[in-house]
Amino acid sequence: MYRWLLCWRYLKTRYIALASIISVTLGVATMIVVNSVMLGFTHEMQNRLHGILSDLIFQSRSLEGFPDPDWHMEQIRRVAGDAIEAMTPTVVVPGMLNYQVGDAWMTRPVQIIGVDERTQAQVSDFSKYLQHPENRKNLSFNLREGGYDVIDHQADGPSLPRDEMALAGWEHRRRAARLRKMIEQVQQEPEQQSPSQGAEASPFTNPFERAQTNEPVAAFDPETSQYTGAILGIGLASFRRNGQDHFLLLPGDDVKLTLPTVGTPPRIVSDTFTVVDFYESKMSEYDANFVFVPIRVLQQLRGMIDPSTGKGYVNAISIKLKPGADMNEVRDRLRNAFAPQYYAIDTWRDSQGPLLAAVNMETAILNVLLFLIICVAGFGILAIFFMIVVEKTRDIGILKALGASAAGVMSIFLGYGLLLGVVGAGAGLTLGLLFVRHINEIADLLGRITGHRVFDPDIYYFYKIPTIVDPWTVGWIMAGAMLIAVLASVLPALRAARLHPVEALRYE
């Protein structure tokens, strides 16, 4: 009992130990915060990636693809057994997107993806990322009459105003047709137009301001008009400034897609598509690259339809597995069943391996660096304990003269080190959990104080800082901190235990 009484007395009276306790507290709190943020970031990013991609991607190594996707899906079901929940064929090809802004043409490299609107939503969260509420329920490449949200209600952050989206749809297309007609009239008969009319029809004025008039528009029947719909990644049609999206295109505008055909050598073909919706996954590498079109249209445009059978070629099949199925096992079975020189079969983790590995490596390096903070606190405990041994040499001699054993004296210092670790780790746990709980409020406060946003949604993937507290991670952080505190007290404890009572009593 005397050992713990002495430990507690030293802890209360030796204020220099506060420096070690503070070091342990800051180290533990910092590691808890960093690990919670990194785990939250990794979890959210993996969910976002998994929502974009299906569980397995069965694809051709050639852009020309493979014939009869129905036969391939039957073979996949035969090999994988009951693990398959849904499949959908796709065609993926690089291309160019062209659209007009004012009198200038914009050109962007894109990935053109042909999807089956009936089955695409069954293998991924594709529909969840569309902007029109009806398309989230039932995907369609038809241009819908209005209904777009003018406020983007983010599930993970504040609402973003998108007033320009209120003009999207058929009404915007009619106004655009009227605007083109007015511009053509100005170009054909400039001498008959008044200055005010010419200014209104100028392509350099704001098209959204021009669209506010209530004058009759050119006839445009949505039931009989022919067009081919396309869904654009929102990053292709807009840019963000000061936390608000500004649109260069709206649903109802026409764009031109240019892409290579199949065959050797490939030819370049192009066609006009009408934007019918936007795709926003909050992952810039996808939102600024993907264009989705009906798979049949893309097959016809590329020459991927067999004239003898009428069936189209595809170059990928997206596969969703049933809950609990082992993705790696199914992947390996499919790899063994199909010729590897013609087919590439990967899980979504395989396709995003470098990105996920980079995040895990960053987390590991941060943990090593931050754990050094606790190690510094350990060296502080070591120095303090050596000082205490020197200062309390006479007291140690009295304890030994009264019958205290070497193990008992040693346990005093080990217990003191353990108490320092427990108090420091406990305070760090409390501070770290409080910081994680209010991290977004703290980030907003620091932003108001410094005038700069600490966590800018324009840079990162998310609109708030994601955090997940893992009990196992917190446990090993606290155990590591207490272990370092105990190990730092071993050498001073050994020195105290080896002191001879007579020599210690003579010490002054």
Are β-strands 56-60 and 316-321 bridged in parallel, bridged antiparallel, or unpaired?
A: antiparallel
Please state, in angstroms and rounded to a whole number, the distance separating the CA atoms of residues 246 and 226. 28
> What is the distance between the alpha carbons of residues 60 and 42, in angstroms, rounded to a whole number?
30
145 phi, psi to nearest 5 deg: -85, 95
| Per-residue b or e along 328-342, where b marks 16 or more CB atoms closer than 10 Å to that residue's CB | eebbebbbeebeeee
> What does each C-alpha distance from 377 to 258, 385, 387, 420, 421 come to in angstroms?
62, 12, 15, 10, 10
Amino acid at 396: I
pLDDT of 221 reads 40
Beta-strand relationship, 229-233 and 290-294: antiparallel
Would you give per-residue pLDDT tens digits along the chain (508 residues)? 555 565 555 555 556 667 778 888 888 998 899 889 888 888 888 887 787 888 999 999 988 889 999 999 999 999 988 889 999 999 999 999 999 887 788 899 999 999 998 999 889 888 888 888 888 888 889 888 777 766 555 544 444 556 677 778 777 777 777 666 666 666 566 544 444 444 443 333 333 333 333 333 323 344 434 568 999 998 898 887 766 778 888 888 899 999 999 888 889 999 999 999 999 887 777 888 999 999 999 999 999 988 888 888 999 999 999 998 899 999 999 999 999 999 999 998 888 777 778 878 888 888 888 778 778 777 877 887 777 776 666 666 666 666 666 667 677 778 778 888 888 899 999 999 999 998 888 888 887 887 777 666 655 556 678 889 999 989 999 998 889 888 888 887 787 776 665 565 555 5
Asked if residues 199 and 279 have their Cβ atoms less than 8 Å apart, the reply is no
Residues 405, 504: contact at Cβ < 8 Å? no
**Structural tokens at position 128:** 């969840």
Task: For 127, list phi and psi in degrees, rounded to 5.
Answer: -65, -30
**312 — phi, psi (to 5°)?**
-95, 150
Candidates 303, 143, 146; CA nearest to 227 is: 143
E strand or H helix that includes residue 6: helix 2-13
* Cis bond before residue 69 (omega within 30° of 0): no
Residue 402: what pLDDT?
A: 63
Q: Is 453 helix (H, G, I), strand (E, B) or coil?
A: coil
Q: Which residues contact 165 (CB under 8 A, 6 or more apart)?
A: 131, 148, 149, 150, 247, 250
Residue 168 token pair? 């999207």
pLDDT of residue 208: 35
CA dist 204 and 102 (Å) reads 6
As given in the structure block, the two tokens for residue 111 are 């990935």
| Cβ neighbour number for residue 494 with a 10 Å cutoff | 15
Residue-level length of the chain:
508
CB within 8 Å of 416: residues ≥ 6 apart: 6, 7, 10, 11, 385, 489
Domain spans of the chain, in order of start: 2-47+355-505, 89-314
Backbone angles phi, psi at 212, to 5 degrees: -80, -10
Asked if residues 480 and 374 have their Cβ atoms less than 8 Å apart, the reply is yes
Residue 161: strand pairing partners: 151
Half-sphere exposure of 471 (CA within 13 A, CB side): 0
Let me know: does 413 contact 396? Beta carbons within 8 Å: no
Q: Which amino acid is at 259?
A: L
Q: Are 237 and 249 in contact (CB under 8 A)?
A: yes
CA 138, CA 90: separation in Å to the nearest integer?
18
Residue reference for tokens 């053109």: 112
How far is residue 319's CA from residue 313's CA, in Å, rounded to a whole number?
17
C-alpha distances out from residue 285 to 70, 136, 151, 315, Å:
31, 22, 23, 21
Q: What Cα–Cα distance (Å) separates residue 135 from each residue in 57, 115, 144, 201, 232?
A: 24, 14, 9, 34, 13
